Amino acid sequence: MSPDFGPDDFYVFAALAMIGSFVGAAFLLWLSQCSRMAPLIRSFRGIAPNYLSVIGVLFALNLVFLANDTWHAHDRALDAVVQEAGALHSIMALSRPLPEPTRIKVETAVRGYAGLTATAEWPLLAHRGSSQAASDQLDTLLALLASDEVGQVLSPGVHALILRQAIAVRNTRGERLALSQTHVNPLKWLGMAFLGFVMMIAIVMVHVDQARAEALAILLFAIAAAPTAAIILVQGNPFQLPAAVSAAPIAALAETSATGR
């Protein structure tokens, strides 16, 4: 069972990546230069420097795949928000032929859902939560669009289209909520950490008879790898800072509906 750090697990693992990299580097330097095992470790001098490239490529590929997963999730979340806002806008556009009282009901329901999503639900997404009020408002909108009050006025084709847009809102909201539930995959990141540690061991062994070069090489690797891993980790939840997906498309729709423009 993986450890559960709640909604802050990405930040916790990012901190562990930063601290663990430099602690591991310091430990290996001490082990190879100051410990009782230092003479034994130095006896393995002579490992070819190009040996580093084999492990380095494996480590880099693993980190790239993790970064790709993170940024792909961010792109999916952004696309879901844009599609959700677009579907809401389409509902309002398709409802224009309705009688004014019914049209106002539809616009009010859309505005209410957009407002609740942007103000009440969005802060909850960073904590892997959702707004029951927004969910209830969406149900109200769906029930209104499926009612005879709307269906008997619009043509069958337009009514079917407006219902498809409402279902698209529900589906994109579901995808948005699913992406906000993203957790750290400990096996993937443990694999990356293992390869990083093996890479530092390889650096130590290649430079084992040159203490200053060894310290500089392992420090440069830690400086390059640790912040990169941390940057990827803190963007794991698309709705958490520092790169949180904005609610602007949906919020703008709520404001536009309210002003009638």
Work out the pLDDT band at 119, boundaries 50, 70, 90: very high
Which residue type occupies 260? G
Which residue type occupies 36? R
> Phi, psi (5° rounding) for residue 243?
-120, 45
Within 10 Å of residue 145's Cβ, how many Cβ atoms?
A: 24
Work out the pLDDT band at 4, boundaries 50, 70, 90: low
| Rounded Cα gap, residues 137 and 117, in angstroms | 10
| Rounded Cα gap, residues 72 and 69, in angstroms | 5
- Answering whether pTM is above 0.85, one says no
For the chain, the average pLDDT equals: 90
Find the helix or strand (DSSP H, E) in which 211 lies.
helix 211-234
Give pLDDT, residue 5.
64
* Beta strand ranges found along the chain (DSSP E): none
CA angle 222, 227, 232 (to 5 degrees): 130
Domain boundaries, the chain: 6-259
Query: How far from 108 is each of 88, 103, 112, 120, 150, CA to CA, in Å?
Result: 12, 8, 6, 17, 14
* Neighbour-count burial of 212, counting CB atoms closer than 10 A to its CB (0-12 exposed, 13-18 middle, 19+ buried): exposed
224: alpha, beta or left, given left = phi > 0 and alpha = psi -120 to 50?
Answer: alpha
